[in-house]
Amino acid sequence: MKELIEYISRSLVDEPEDVSVEEYESGRHVEIELSVAQKDMGRVIGKRGKVANAMRALLRVAAEREGKKASLDILEP
């Protein structure tokens, strides 16, 4: 799941080397924290959060296939 979010994020931003993805797992819940360069925040979030919501939907599907629940937090650098 971490690799999925990392791949999508690096594809969207201008500075892919600044993308940082951390994964924390506790039981059946997985929390993914995404951090990108300040100037790339708009690209990752999208208008009205559409890109971020799409990434969350893909993450939920990937987690469900593994029998888990997942959440995505986008952190400010």
pLDDT in tens, 10-51: 999 999 999 999 999 999 999 999 999 999 999 999 999 999
- pLDDT at residue 77 above 90? no
Strand intervals (E) in 1-77:
20-26, 29-35, 69-75
44 CB burial (10 A radius; 0-12, 13-18, 19+) = buried
pTM score, whole prediction: 0.90
Q: How far apart are CA 34 and CA 74, in angstroms?
A: 5
Give pLDDT, residue 38: 95
Question: How much is the pLDDT for 50?
Answer: 97
Of 68, 36, 69, residue with least CA distance to 52: 36
User: Which CA distances in Å does 29 have to 4, 14, 70, 71, 77?
Assistant: 17, 31, 6, 8, 24
